[in-house]
A and B are shown apart, each in its own frame.
Chain A
Amino acid sequence: MAAELLRESFEIQGRNFDKAGEVSGEIKVILRDLGIEAVNLRRLVIVAFEAEMNVVMYARRGTLTLILTDEDVNLEVRDEGPGIPDIELAFKEGYSTASDEMREMGFGFGMGLPNMKKNSDELKVESEVGKGTLVCAKIRLNSNA
């Protein structure tokens, strides 16, 4: 059983584009200071950033919980939002339901979930339409994929 070394939760405000990405920036600093190796650090902040942007773009609010163990880093992102009706379709590269406003921000080109999948060792998405979405990502610290 992996030993838990750190657990910290961060609030994400929906629709606040000015602050969008702040949590991921903070996580990057925390994990870098803990000595997480650069390749893994990069992978997990990309996952965190894409997940955070999705919460900002679509949900009312969300929470990102960072759990570091001696084997891996886990990100759990839970939001109160519209949910995803078809998760398989949402993972298709290029598929997007983004508004013009989101695209003007440089997001919503249908790459978010594929990017998260590519950069995690395990990715689980659960969603209930009208309620919200839970994304759990795991990045193993010994892998450099």
Chain B
Amino acid sequence: MKLSEIREILQCEVLAGEEDLQVEVYQVVASDGMSEILAFAKSKELMITGLTNIQSIRTADIAGVSAVLYCRGKRPDKKVIEFAKQKRIPVLITQMVMFDICGILYNKGLKGVS
């Protein structure tokens, strides 16, 4: 599924990487625990988290995910967004909660990593 489709489905606002929304993702890694993301991500996933600090983008970079989606309307500060742009990691935010996001994306055919 393209990031642009995910933006539509989850009614996301794009904070970084507007130009990279044609990227395809097939799997999702969702957690507020950064070590869990690092343990399960295999690269190129969509990372969903409620943690909006700088560590979330550092983790995304280290884990090699394709994009970061922040849930429940949480908005990272400017410094975090700038860092994501520098690392060329698209950042989306949605008002939806983690459970709903995962349910919707699962129904659309995306799978989790394990």
Interface residues of A (CB under 8 A from B): 17-18, 20-21, 24-25, 28, 38, 42, 45-46, 49-50, 105-107, 109, 111-112, 114-115, 118
Q: From residue 25 to 54 of chain B, which have CB atoms closer than 8 A to chain A?
A: 32-36, 38-39, 43, 49, 51, 53-54
Q: Is B62 an interface residue when CB atoms closer than 8 A count as contact?
A: yes
Cβ–Cβ < 8 Å partners of B61 in chain A: 25, 28
Say how far A42's CB is from chain B's closest CB, in angstroms.
6
Q: Is B58 an interface residue when CB atoms closer than 8 A count as contact?
A: yes
- Dominant SS among interface residues on chain B: helix
Question: A46–B58 contact, CB under 8 A?
Answer: no
Lowest 9 CB-CB distances: which A-B pairs, in order?
Answer: A111-B35, A21-B58, A106-B34, A109-B33, A106-B51, A49-B62, A45-B62, A46-B38, A115-B39
Interface residues contributed by chain B, number (CB under 8 Å):
20
Closest to B61 in A: A25
Question: A111–B36 contact, CB under 8 A?
Answer: yes
Question: B33–A25 contact, CB under 8 A?
Answer: no
Cβ–Cβ < 8 Å partners of B32 in chain A: 106
User: Given contacts A28-B61, A46-B63, are A105 and B55 in contact (CB under 8 A)?
Assistant: yes
User: Given contacts A42-B64, A106-B33, are A50 and B38 in contact (CB under 8 A)?
Assistant: yes
Question: B35–A112 contact, CB under 8 A?
Answer: yes
Question: Which of B32, B35, B51, B59 has the most chain A CB atoms inside 10 A of its CB?
Answer: B35
Closest to B86 in A: A25
Question: A21–B55 contact, CB under 8 A?
Answer: yes
Cβ–Cβ < 8 Å partners of A107 in chain B: 33-35, 55
Q: Is B56 an interface residue when CB atoms closer than 8 A count as contact?
A: yes
Cβ–Cβ < 8 Å partners of B33 in chain A: 106-107, 109, 111
> In the complex, A113→B110 CA distance in Å?
30
Cβ–Cβ < 8 Å partners of A106 in chain B: 32-35, 49, 51, 53, 55-56, 59
Cβ–Cβ < 8 Å partners of A49 in chain B: 38, 58-59, 62
Question: B55–A115 contact, CB under 8 A?
Answer: no
Cβ–Cβ < 8 Å partners of A105 in chain B: 34, 51, 53, 55
Closest to B79 in A: A18
> In the complex, A25→B43 CA distance in Å?
16
Question: Which of A17, A20, A28, A109 has the most chain B CB atoms inside 10 A of its CB?
Answer: A109
User: Given contacts A38-B43, A105-B53, are A20 and B58 in contact (CB under 8 A)?
Assistant: yes
Kindly list 12 other residue pairs between chains A and B, CB separation below 8 angstroms, not including A106-B33, A106-B35: A17-B55, A21-B55, A24-B58, A25-B58, A42-B43, A42-B63, A49-B62, A50-B35, A105-B55, A106-B34, A106-B51, A111-B33
